[in-house]
Amino acid sequence: MHFSFFHLMPWTELDEAPTQWPARNAPFRPERGTELYDTYLGTMAHAEACGFDWVGANEHHFSPYSLMANCNLVGAAMTQRTKSIKLAMLGNLLPLLNPVRVAEEYAMLDVMSGGRLVAGFVRGIPHEYIAYNVAPDESRGRMREALNIILRAWTEPEPFGWEGEFYQYRAISIWPKPRQTPHPRILMSASNLESAQFVGEFPSMVGLTLVSDLDVARSIIDGFLESARAHGRTPSPEDILVGQQTCIAETDEEAEEIMAKALAYFHGVLMRPQQDAQRIVIQKTRFFGQEGAGDYFMKRLQTLKGRTIKEQIEAGSILCGSPQTVVKQIKRLRQHLGAAHINMNMKLGNMPDTAVIKGMELFRDKVLPEVRAL
């Protein structure tokens, strides 16, 4: 199996939840922000020494739950702090961005890192569309078209133009091109069957996060596999990534206590303001094309928020416990979902950074040796 260390770069200093979206930024203190970035980048670089295969970052806007408006900047910093670990951008919110710019920045990261980029493309969560003033109804169409432009920008030997529905370019010829050929490994996320089928159209890994029910997650993965096969590919377990909020400590009790406090801050403070924005987008647009997908999205978040730590462990939503316990949980995911890649989000809410580092080292010393060969 393969493992990714993921960091959401949260703001840890809020005393109370913002009351509406977007969260006002008056409480942000730049000097503290500088300290956090330094700590977070150091933690992410440490993932290489802890045996992780990837170190991951992503993109969010207008929110204290993530200080990463552009994960490519984090990736650029990682190219200078690491030697061998893959740099997983998970990913750029493609429908919101200029696809040529994304192709260029990803190509830079791939060349700067010596060919270590994993190129994530995500449609994003609904409220991001308000932040960048893009119609949510267009998200799927923009995603599909932008992906085609980027794949061509990476692989075409001659300058080319593009006359499309959402994008028009008269000449594209990026410098640099990616180092990996024909292009870096691609990953796209899927939180529902519609997304999974979409991902299967492309030469891409699929990534699932916020699992609320293992059987539902399995059906989404099956949808990806079926779609990929229908498009002439033979996906393997290596093409399936499952994201898990993770806390590893010396004992189950200690891990559950750390996780409970961190998730209380994450759900109760950091995540609260965007709920209204999410609801508006889901109710008033066709962001989710398939009937019921929007309800499922909102219900999933509420379900996770309302569950105890033990209930979340049982549902397969999180990895939490002593090394021995987490090994069992990983084996269960491997067996039930057929996934050979787990993305561990180990900096949750205001979880102490010392606890994060401790968990990473327990993973290296006591978890990884037991699960690597699965």
Partner 1 sequence: MTDISFTERDVALSSGSLHVRTAGKGRPLVHLHSAAGPRVSGVIEALADHHLVHAPTLPGFDGTAKHDSVTTIADLANLVAEFIEKECDGEADIVGEGLGGWVGLWVAVRHPGLIGQLVLEAPAGLRRTDLIALPANIDERLKLLHAVTANIPAETRAPQMLQDNRKVLQDYIQGVDFDEALVQRLGEIKSRALILMGALDKIIPRETGHILKAGLPQSHLTYIWGAAHAIEFDQPQRTSAIVLDFLDRGESFLVRQAAPAA
Binding site for partner 1 (CB under 8 A): 145, 148, 152, 156-165, 167, 170-171
CB-nearer residue toward partner 1: 181 or 324: 181
Q: Choose between 175 and 354: whose C-beta lies nearer to partner 1.
A: 175
DSSP one-letter string for 248-260:
E-SSHHHHHHHHH
Helices (H), 7-54: 30-49
Residue with Cβ nearer partner 1 (167 or 296) = 167
Structure tokens at 344: 């561990």
Count of C-beta atoms within a 10 Å radius of residue 226: 15
Task: Name the minimum Å distance from CB 322 to partner 1.
Answer: 53
- CB of 165 or CB of 238, closer to partner 1: 165
Task: Identify the three-state secondary structure at position 170.
Answer: strand
Report the C-alpha gap between 199 and 193 in whole angstroms.
10
How far apart are alpha carbons 48 and 5 in whole angstroms?
Answer: 9
- Identify the helix (H) or strand (E) that includes residue 168: strand 168-172
Residue 50 DSSP one-character state: T
Shortest CB 202 distance to partner 1, Å: 14
- Residue 169 CB, nearest approach to partner 1 (Å): 9
Shorter beta-carbon distance to partner 1: residue 133 or 168:
168
What is the maximum alpha-carbon separation in the chain? Answer: 60
- Rounded to 5 degrees, what are φ and ψ at 16? -145, 160
Q: Hey, what amino acid is at 302?
A: Q
For residue 336 the two structure tokens come to 């039930």
**How many degrees, rounded to 5, is the angle at CA 37 between CA 261 and CA 260?**
10
Task: Give min distance, CB of 207 to partner 1, in A.
Answer: 26
As measured in angstroms, the least distance from the Cβ of 161 to partner 1 is 3
Residue closer to partner 1 by CB (options 173, 335) is: 173
